Amino acid sequence: MEELFLNKEHIARFNCMMEELGFTDLRDPYWRILVFIFTGDERLFNQRGSMVNFVQKEINSDLWFDGTLSGGEQRLVALAYNLFTNQDFYEFENGKRYNISPLEVFLVLMRLVISWPRMRLILDYSFIKSDKKI
């Protein structure tokens, strides 16, 4: 499974965050892909404590779209949000929306596949169904 990750640090961060969440297996595809995306980016990984409620296993999505992330990080977070919630928008308390268009999600995935060929394996059904620890 090492070929799925950017490097050994990505694997270590992934295992660390999964342990912090208390997951002993990889059966939950929603958390697995969210953790994979967050641990692939060092800054997102370092902000995980504020972006994810580890105790209640919830996402703090209000912080995900507060405008503090760079453009690339924001698109990664939007992709994680879309895959985690299956929603194509995030709605703020004031009714405004951050739209996550299918085209935007597709373009982020394509950029990842082009710049990081191993990303193709992440989307592979065998990875989604795996219950093995990395």
Tell me the domain boundaries of the chain.
2-129
Q: Please state, in angstroms and rounded to a whole number, the distance separating the CA atoms of residues 107 and 110.
A: 5
Q: What is the pLDDT of residues 42-75, one digit of tens each?
A: 999 999 999 999 998 888 888 888 888 887 788 8
Q: Which one of 81-90, 105-114, 122-131 scores highest in mean pLDDT?
A: 81-90
> Is-above-0.85 flag for pTM?
no
Any idea which of 14-23, 43-52, 53-62, 80-89 has the lowest mean pLDDT? 80-89
Confidence band of 87 (pLDDT split at 50, 70, 90):
confident
Q: What is the pLDDT of residues 24-41, one digit of tens each?
A: 777 788 888 889 889 988
61 C-beta neighbours (distance < 10 Å), count: 20
Give the pLDDT confidence score for residue 79 in this predicted structure.
83
Give the pLDDT confidence score for residue 12 in this predicted structure.
93
Please name the residue that has the structure tokens 């912080």: 63
Give the pLDDT confidence score for residue 17 in this predicted structure.
92
Helix, coil or strand: residue 66: coil
117, 92 Cβ separation under 8 angstroms? no
